[in-house]
Structures are given as structure tokens and as C-alpha cells.
Amino acid sequence: MDTVLLQVYQQATGQEMPPEIQEKLSNITKDKQNSLKKEKTDKSQMSVQLYHLALSNGVKLFQDQHGTGYAQVPLSAQQTKRDPQEVAEWQGYENIRLIDSQFEDYLMHLYYTSTGNIPYRDAVKQAISVLSYDATRKEKVRLSNRVAWDPSGDGSIWVDTADKQNRAYHITKNGWNLTSEVPILFQRHQHQQTLPTAKTEGNIEKLLPFINVGSHRSSKTSQHQQLLLIVQTASYLIPDIPHPITAMYGCRGSHKSSTQKILKRLIDPSSVETQSPPNNPKDALQILDHHYIPIFDNLNILPRWLSDTLYRAVTGEGQETRQLYTDDKAFIRQLSRCIMLNGVNLPITQSDLLSRTIMHPTEPTSKHIAEAELNKAFAEIQGDILGGLFDVIVKALQLKDSVLMPETDYRLADFFKWGRLSKN
């Protein structure tokens, strides 16, 4: 019996607490203690059960290149927030960070479908803690955003569709195909949208009416500008090389943003197509981490720190930030991104960034098309253009070992080589 409670009762009433009341309160205290012990035991047993449920249902643990724990979850079992009938027809896996709420929801769903009961959230977190520890002792796998080399080293390329079936396009010297048998390669983010279905015998030239680069007259200068932009776009399908920044400038109404959105939709469609200039390095790194092709829209100021961040994201240099402001645990982002900038007058002054940028002037056009109409027209032929891009990369892979590079030292030599291959 709590002596403090006895003292409070005596001070309040001026009498000692009757024995029968003391006994009832003592029994209530014991029952509460026993209930807490039972709950603690239940949680402990439940966390062990959740741990084994995950592993017995085909969940494979691994860590990414930064040491973050992941679970490869079979899509046939991953029914959280999905239509069970639809999921039952899928094959393949989904890669989920163990610290994400999606994996927590998955474990709760797995326990409910197995037992008919809802688990304690504390038990779920305990099970995830043990799984996370196990994951950091497992195989380390390099995860990429949208495009990746085949881990076998055979020189083929994978392009993530970001669809619900976890499929990807596989591009080799012999051609390309869409498959659900995809190695552990990609991390995904909520904003990513599904690539269109690429069509065989596609036509990349169908892109030209949608990009306002060059005068659109039959001059050599116009053709050169258009070809350069197409080659630059095709190079986005080559993983882990420094890609020059696509910078577009021109007067208002020259379709700078629209052109860049079109190019992004081809390879990295997103519900967030353009970004405002970030306010600090942490926000900038998060945007670059989540978007393979980030578009920084309507720039009029470019701080030195942002200029440095962007050129490092081009070259793939590691950039460090803290996971939380409350701890010292570092998170290294080593990015190689295909960055786009646009503005009336682009404020690029730092030589490190300028030497890694291709400037594309845009010109006013007398033909004004409503954005909804433009998007509809592009959606109808997007698969043709994507198939044409894949065909270009197949040809480039075939020629890769036969094209000789000039002796001139170029700033972005890898892009120069693949650009020559794509042009051919």
C-alpha cells in the first residue's frame, strides 16, 4: 500500500484510513502492477513474434551504401494501403527503409492478418530495432535513383519505372525490355511517378516540337542547338557520370519551364516538377537526393553555397550533413544528378559551376498553346520518344568500345564520350 496515499488520506480527514479501504486499494495496486507486468511480457513476446513473422514471410534485410537498414519486401505480401486482389497478381519486391512508417505499417498489417489482433506499437518498434541491427550486419547494396548500372558489371543499364509492380527497363547492347525481375537497385520517394510505356521502334525526333530551343528554322545553328539538347537528354540514361547542367534563359513566355518539365517527364516524372531555390544547404541536399532530375525554376539569385552544392552534385562529390540537428551522426550523400536551371537572366558567375553548364537560349514564340493542351499532346507520344531514347542508348552501348576519344582534355570527359556515342 502506498504510504503517501495513507498520509494524504489522514491529512484530509484527520483519521486513519479504515482497514477495509486499505485492502481494496492494495488489491487495485497489485492488479495494476500485475497488468503492467503482463503487458510488458506480452509486448516482449509480441516483438519476438513480429521479428520472426517478417523473416518467415520472405523479408530480406540489407543495408545501403550509407549503412541505412532496408527490407526487401515481397510485393505479393505487401498489401498495406493497396488492393489485395491487385497485389496478389504482382511479382517482385519493394525496397523499404526500416525507419520509414511504411515498414511499420507493413509489420502491423502482417501481424493482424496472421493473428487477427492489432499489435502494440511499442512491440512493432522493438522488432524494427532488432531488424535494423541485423540489417547493418547484412550485405551492403548501392541504391540509386531512377537509373543504375547492372550490379554484375556487364555494362547494361536499368531504368526504374517507379510503378506498383516494381518493374524496370533493362537496356543492353542487344536491345531493351520491361521486366519485373529487377535486382536490388533502387530507392524510391513518394513524389515519383510512373514512367510511360516505351514503344518499340520509337522516334526521338517527335520531341522537337515540344522544346523551344533554337529558332525552329532550318539553320545549322538551330539544328545544332536542338541536337545538343537531345544528346544531353539521352545522356541522362547513363548512370554515375557527371552530367552538365541544362540551363535555359530567355524572356518571359519563351517556355523555359515548360520545356524542362517535358524533358523531366521523359525519364524522371514527378508530382513535384519544379523547385523554388532552396534556402539552405540541408534543403538543397534533400531535393538533390530525392530527384534524379531536379529543376530549379525562375532563378534570379544564386548564392555561393548553392553554386558549390550544385557543381558537387554534378561531379558526384560526397556532401555531408547531419541526420538530425540534435545529434552529431553524419549522413553522406554522394550524388550524381542531372540538374536543370532556368531564369530570365541566369545568375551563374562561379567558374566551377559555369564550366559544368550548357546554356540553352530560348526565344519568344508567336504560337501560344494552353499547358493542358500541350501536356495532352505530349502524353500521346511520350512512349514513342522514350522508346527512341532507349534505342539511342542501345546503339551507344554497341559503339562504346569502338569510338576513340580525341586527346584534348575536357572538363566533363565522360559526358563528352557518351555524347559522341549518342550523336552517332
Write the pLDDT tens digit of every residue in 165-199: 889 999 999 999 999 889 999 988 889 999 999 99
Q: Residues 335, 230: one domain?
A: yes
Q: Residues 101, 156: one domain?
A: no
pLDDT of residue 395: 92
Q: Residues 79, 116: one domain?
A: yes
Q: Is residue 85 part of a domain?
A: yes
Write the pLDDT tens digit of every residue in 260-299: 999 999 999 999 999 998 999 889 988 998 999 999 999 8
pLDDT of residue 316: 79
Among candidates 242, 249, 273, which has minimal Cα distance to 364? 249
Q: Is residue 140 part of a domain?
A: no
Write the pLDDT tens digit of every residue in 73-85: 987 644 444 555 5
Q: How confident is the model at residue 251 (pLDDT cuts 50, 70, 90)?
A: confident
DSSP result, 297-344? -S-----HHHHHHHHHHHHT-EEEEES-TTS--EEEEE-----EEEES
Q: How far apart, in whole angstroms, are the C-alpha atoms of residue 409 and residue 308? A: 23
Dihedral pair phi/psi, residue 297, rounded to 5°: -95, 140
Q: Residues 116, 24: one domain?
A: yes
Q: Residues 96, 165: one domain?
A: no
pLDDT of residue 327: 44
Q: Residues 346, 378: one domain?
A: yes
For the stretch 74-92, what's the b/e string if a residue is b when 16 or more beta carbons lie within 10 angstroms of its beta carbon? bbebbbbeeeeeebeebeb
Burial class (CB in 10 A: 0-12, 13-18, 19+), 199: middle
Q: Residues 183, 84: one domain?
A: no
Long-range contacts of 89-94 (CB under 8 A, 24+ apart): 90/164, 90/165, 90/166, 90/180, 91/165, 91/180, 91/181, 92/165, 92/166, 92/167, 92/180, 92/181, 92/182, 93/60, 93/166, 93/182, 93/184, 94/166
Beta bridge mates, 159? 147, 169
Quote the percentage of the chain above a pLDDT of 70: 78
Among candidates 102, 99, 98, which has minimal Cα distance to 81? 102
C-alpha distances in angstroms, 236 versus 110, 263, 356?
39, 10, 15
Q: Residues 121, 159: one domain?
A: no
Q: Residues 255, 328: one domain?
A: yes
Write the pLDDT tens digit of every residue in 203-233: 998 998 888 876 555 566 678 888 889 999 9
pLDDT of residue 392: 93
Q: Is residue 363 part of a domain?
A: yes
Cell numbers for 342, please give them. Answer: 532556368
Domain finish residue from 135, 169, 189: 135
Domain finish residue from 109, 135, 161: 135
Beta bridge mates, 94? 73
Q: How confident is the model at residue 235 (pLDDT cuts 50, 70, 90)?
A: very high
Domain count, the chain: 2
Q: Is residue 298 part of a domain?
A: yes
Q: Is residue 79 part of a domain?
A: yes
Q: Residues 80, 199: one domain?
A: no
CATH number assigned to the domain comprising residue 164: 3.40.50.300
Dihedral pair phi/psi, residue 351, rounded to 5°: -65, -35
Q: Is residue 312 part of a domain?
A: yes
Mean pLDDT over each residue of the chain, to the nearest integer:
83
Q: How confident is the model at residue 300 (pLDDT cuts 50, 70, 90)?
A: confident
Q: Residues 109, 163: one domain?
A: no
Write the pLDDT tens digit of every residue in 321-346: 555 444 445 555 667 899 999 998 88
Structural domain boundaries, residue 283: 147-423
Q: Is residue 142 part of a domain?
A: no
- Coil, helix or strand at residue 382: helix
Cell 520531341, located at residue: 207
Q: Residues 175, 67: one domain?
A: no
pLDDT of residue 273: 94
pLDDT of residue 421: 66
pLDDT of residue 79: 46
Q: Is residue 339 part of a domain?
A: yes
DSSP result, 406-422? PSS--TTHHHHHHHHHH
Domain finish residue from 135, 167, 201: 135
Burial class (CB in 10 A: 0-12, 13-18, 19+), 206: middle
